[in-house]
Amino acid sequence: MSEPTGHVNSEDGDAVVHVIDALVAYARERLLLDARDHDWMRNRLLELFDADESLRAQAVALAGQGGEAIVDGALASDEVMGTLSAAPSRIQDEYDDVRATAGNMEAMRWLYDYCVANGSVKLAQLRRNVRFDSAGLVVTVNTAKPEFTDMRKAARGNSVDGSFAQCTICHENEGLAARGKRTLRTVEVELSGSPWFWQFSPYGYFRQHGICVNREHTPMRVDESTFGNLLDFVIQFPDYFLGCNAALPRIGGSVLAHDHYQGGGEIMPMQRAAAWKTFTSPEVDDAVLDIIDWPASALRVRSRRRDSIMRVCERIREAWVAYDDPAIGVAAHGPDSSAQSSLAPIARYVSAVGEPPAYEMSLILRNNAVSDQYPLGVFHAHPEYFFLKQEPIGLIEAMGLFVLPGRLVNQLGALEDALVSGKDLPADLAGFELMWRAARDGLERSGADAHDRNAVRAAVREELGGICRRILGNIAVFPTHEGLERFVEGLGFVVQE
Ligand SMILES: [Zn+2]
């Protein structure tokens, strides 16, 4: 075999060839590389390693290792994995084949495995995330995702000049080098007869987390058609839930300019929460409504019929977006008469043993009013909790899965260290004073050894979950279940006997 280029020594050349062969073998096995494309792919990689000094250096460093280590190293390179990945059309064809033979959910699982194998889902990074249950919630510390504090910048989606994509979730991102999306692969989904597409999130907050995106770059909205779209999705993909953020700034999704939904294969804490009270529905006798026993203001419509759920949800939505209640600070419109109320609907297919299958739509009522006291939002995390969470509380968190910024790994570690060693709160963690005191008091009350690492960690985590729960209380538009009950009774819902 001849040396790939003239300007490197033959030892390095051999190393690069060894790495290329390992990667091509991997692509043959896992990434749908056709045997007929074997030589062509080797040459494409050769060109890539030749053109990029740092890639070449990495290859040389990895060459002494086995195939697995080489692939692990390559997974970090969007360029290498993007080159090895099959074209979107090939992915779609394979996905369609799996659908036809094994069903929709099996096809999704196949796609997920592919996206892990080609590095677009960063599974190794995700496994490093801290995740624990506390106070009836799931708390994760996501070390993979950057923290946004400037929401306007986040909402604009960091547009890249000169690309075809108008925002970060447009279909035109598939393969876009400037955003590190050479490995991104999507599949077509049809909702209410319109073209949408599905992609898995690189930073997945939970099992098989993905987004379903309108093929058209059109603004977020929540109306009757949204309910229909969400139900259409869960009818096709019964193991996934799908939800839509409230289409308003501060309280909902970070990308408002492009209609999209979030979903995946996990049941969220709110979906597991019991009903506080159940109501029968006026005019729609095959649907019931629950007030969910949940710190945010949340309802759940259940029925076996798609149309019944849509009717009940639309009735509630219409009433909610027009609802004014000065006593609790809810105003349907802001001073500039812009709409301030919306809701986040989340659809799920429910199949319990011994019961006929049904659909449910959870509705989280949201309002984005501001006041002199709360200029960033009355129903937003309040400032005393900003040390933990300053970003808007979107639907995933409103459902009880908190995604806290990666900086907390070190901060909580330092907090634990100080507690274990009996030192004072470190000066750079002054913002954590509230939590610090509560964790220390909790340790004292429990009688646990205050210098035991496990006991300290348990106390810190319990307090963390407690704060997340209080943040959900901040976003509750009705401070009590009774207040929400008066609202639904005003719409004609009657407590079920
Ligand atoms: Zn877009």
Query: Could you report the per-residue pLDDT of 65-120, keeping only the tens digit for each?
Result: 888 889 988 888 999 999 999 999 999 999 999 999 999 999 999 999 999 999 99
How far CA 153 is from CA of 135, 174, 255, 425, in Å, comes to 33, 22, 10, 34
448 and 430 together in one domain: yes
Rounded Cα distance between 396 and 460, Å, is: 23
- Residue 48 covered by a domain: yes
- Residue 5 covered by a domain: no
Q: What is the pLDDT, as a whole number, of residue 3?
A: 45
Which pLDDT band holds residue 150 (cuts at 50, 70, 90)?
Answer: low
339 and 447 together in one domain: no
314 and 457 together in one domain: no
* Other Cβ atoms within 10 Å of 366 Cβ, number: 29
Strand order in the sheet with 130-134: 130-134, 137-142, 401-405
Say how many Å lie between the CA of residue 63 and the centre of ligand 1.
41
Say how many Å lie between the CA of residue 304 and the centre of ligand 1.
34
Q: What is the pLDDT, as a whole number, of residue 152?
A: 53
370 and 265 together in one domain: yes
468 and 370 together in one domain: no
Q: What is the pLDDT, as a whole number, of residue 497?
A: 82
Rounded Cα distance between 293 and 275, Å, is: 5
Q: What is the pLDDT, as a whole number, of residue 358?
A: 92
197 and 162 together in one domain: yes
pLDDT at 145 over 90: no
237 and 348 together in one domain: yes
245 and 278 together in one domain: yes
The residue among 295, 330, 350, 298 whose CA lies nearest residue 465 is 295
Say how many Å lie between the CA of residue 257 and the centre of ligand 1.
7
- Residue 348 covered by a domain: yes
- Residue 123 covered by a domain: no
Question: What is the number of structural domains in the chain?
Answer: 4
375 and 245 together in one domain: yes
Say how many Å lie between the CA of residue 179 and the centre of ligand 1.
14
- Residue 413 covered by a domain: yes
136 and 155 together in one domain: no
308 and 452 together in one domain: no
pLDDT at 336 over 80: yes
Contact criterion met (CB below 8 Å) for 424 and 418: yes
pLDDT at 232 over 90: yes
Say how many Å lie between the CA of residue 405 and the centre of ligand 1.
25
For residue 387, give its domain range. 129-145+380-475
pLDDT at 2 over 50: no
179 and 133 together in one domain: no
**Please, which residues have CB less than 5 A from ligand 1, an ion?**
166-167, 170, 217, 258
Say how many Å lie between the CA of residue 40 and the centre of ligand 1.
34
Say how many Å lie between the CA of residue 153 and the centre of ligand 1.
15
Q: What is the pLDDT, as a whole number, of residue 149?
A: 55
For the segment 344-348, the average pLDDT, to the nearest whole number, is 98
**What percent of the chain has pLDDT above 90?**
69
- Residue 3 covered by a domain: no
